DNA sequence: AGGCAGGTGGCCA
DNA sequence: TGGCCACCTGCC
């Protein structure tokens, strides 16, 4: 494949190799992989892009020459390069929370992504009781079998309309397992109400979550991940197995039920609880 | 070989 | 509300 020349993205606070890996491949998105040494290749929407840190640690990108759709601005929007993350970190309660402080220090420049809402929902519906490598395989199968071709055999994730046109059996053949039934039923609901996802994305957090919970196979955790990584609802605090471990071991919350853990997260961590969650999650996984 | 994995929903008290 | 369990599939 022919690629454009590498172009440098100017950033206030550059990534480290570690924080770039954790941001792209730490479980927010399931469509990035290490293509060559130190070159990340990923897909979102109809974008196909490679990223690397050059020898001076500057972030650079390139895209297939044929894919004129991908622009620097599209990448800046996806990576949220113009968000002042340090100002947000400053509003987290790290001054009174030494474990949070350690987690933040362990992953300097870890960021949240701004992914397309519809495909964020799809990715996390695949994630139930699966580890990241398996989720990535499911997403790749969905894209290759049902999604539009971007360029030279690279495919986008399917739209919900494309999924609705497939059978549950087809979805099962892509390795989705018991998730196939709910993903198919959710696709049917979305097709019945065109534009509903666009609407949900614009609603305030509480209302948006309520609307997502209507879809079969979407519970509190998947709804929160979708809103945090696909709709910039930073108060969303996904409670997964890793965060449960953190809250039990580091915050002494053994025996608390999930709804209470969610409430603790939102109250203790505040309007950017989801960003704090990402640091706690990354730090816990790094020390497993 | 059996248990477990970034969950959810149904059923029971 | 709280506890238990089935559910696909692949990996250890």
| CATH label of the domain that carries residue A67 | 3.30.310
Q: How far out from the chain centre does Cα A114 lie?
A: 8
Give the pLDDT mean for A87-96: 98
Judgement on whether residues A236 and A179 belong to the same structural domain of the protein: no
Cα distance between residue A247 and residue A73, in whole Å: 38
Residue A154 sits in a domain whose CATH number is 1.10.340.30
pLDDT digits (tens, 9 = 90+) for A186-232: 999 999 999 999 999 999 999 999 999 999 999 999 999 999 999 99
Q: Are residues A97 and A161 in the same domain?
A: no
> Does residue A175 lie within any of the structural domains?
yes
A111 occurs within a structural domain: no
Clarify whether residues A67 and A94 are in a common domain: no
Domain end (from A205, A230, A255): A230
Contact predicate A122/A184, CB 8 Å: no
Report the pLDDT value the prediction gives residue A65, as an integer from 0 to 100: 96
Average pLDDT over residues A244-252: 95
Residues A58, A141, single domain; the answer is no
Which structural domain, as residue segments, surrounds residue A35? 7-82
Question: Which pLDDT belongs to residue A100?
Answer: 98
pLDDT in tens, A108-131: 999 999 999 999 999 999 999 999
Stretch A238-246: mean pLDDT, rounded? 96
Q: For chain A, what is the domain count?
A: 3
Tell me the CATH number at A89.
1.10.1670.10
Residue with CA nearest C1' of nucleotide C3: A257
Q: Is residue A151 part of a domain?
A: yes
Does a structural domain hold residue A63? yes
Query: For the residues A65-87, what does the mean pLDDT come to?
Result: 95
pLDDT (tens digit, 9 = 90+) per residue, A12-71? 889 999 999 999 999 999 999 999 889 999 999 999 999 999 999 999 999 999 998 889
* Distance from residue A63's CA to nucleotide C5's C1', rounded to whole Å: 48
Per-residue pLDDT, A153: 95
Q: What is the pLDDT, as a whole number, of residue A5?
A: 97
- The rounded distance, in Å, linking the Cα atoms of A72 and A70 is 7
Distance CA A280, CA A272 (A): 13
pLDDT at A276 over 90: yes
Same domain, yes or no: A91 and A18: no
pLDDT value at A288 more than 90: no
Nucleotides of C under 7 A from a protein CB: 1-3, 7-11
Same domain for A266 and A130:
no
Distance A259 CA to C2 C1' (A): 12
Which bases of chain B come closer than 7 Å to a protein CB?
5-9
Domain boundary among A210, A230, A250: A230
> Based on the domain organization, do A169 and A207 belong to the same domain?
yes
Q: Find, among A19, A169, A189, the residue nearest to A105 by Cα.
A: A19
Predicted confidence at residue A37, as pLDDT, reads 87
Spatial contact of A111 and A79, defined as CB atoms under 8 Å apart: yes
Length of chain A: 288
Residues A244 and A196 in one domain: no
Distance from C-alpha of A110 to C-alpha of A22, rounded to nearest angstrom: 7
What average pLDDT is seen over chain A? Answer: 97
Q: Is A1 inside any structural domain?
A: no
CA of A259 vs C1' of B8, distance in Å?
Answer: 14
């Amino acid at each position: 494949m022919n690629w454009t020349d590498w172009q440098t993205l100017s950033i206030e606070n550059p990534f480290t190799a570690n924080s770039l890996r954790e941001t792209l491949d730490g479980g927010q998105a399931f469509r990035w992989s290490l293509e060559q040494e130190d070159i990340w290749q990923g897909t979102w929407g109809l974008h196909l892009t490679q990223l690397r840190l050059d020898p001076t640690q500057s972030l650079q990108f390139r895209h297939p020459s044929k894919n004129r759709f991908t622009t620097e601005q599209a990448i800046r929007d996806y990576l949220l390069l113009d968000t002042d993350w340090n100002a947000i970190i400053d509003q987290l309660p790290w001054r009174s929370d030494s474990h949070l402080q350690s987690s933040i220090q362990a992953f300097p420049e870890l960021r949240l992504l701004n992914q397309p809402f519809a495909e964020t929902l799809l990715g996390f519906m695949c994630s139930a009781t699966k580890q990241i490598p398996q989720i990535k395989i499911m997403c790749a199968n969905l894209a290759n079998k049902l999604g539009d071709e971007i360029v030279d055999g690279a495919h986008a994730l399917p739209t919900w309309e494309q999924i609705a046109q497939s059978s549950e059996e087809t979805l099962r053949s892509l390795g989705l397992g018991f998730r196939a039934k709910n993903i198919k039923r959710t696709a049917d609901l979305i097709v019945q109400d065109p534009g509903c996802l666009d609407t949900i994305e614009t609603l305030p957090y509480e209302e948006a979550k309520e609307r997502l919970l209507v879809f079969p196979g979407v519970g509190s955790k998947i709804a929160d991940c979708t809103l945090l990584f696909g709709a910039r609802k930073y108060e969303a605090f996904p409670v997964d197995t890793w965060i449960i471990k953190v809250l039990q071991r580091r915050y002494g919350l053994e025996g608390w039920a999930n709804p209470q853990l969610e409430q603790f997260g939102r109250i203790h961590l505040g309007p950017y609880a989801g960003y704090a969650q990402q640091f706690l999650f990354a730090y816990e996984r790094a020390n497993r």
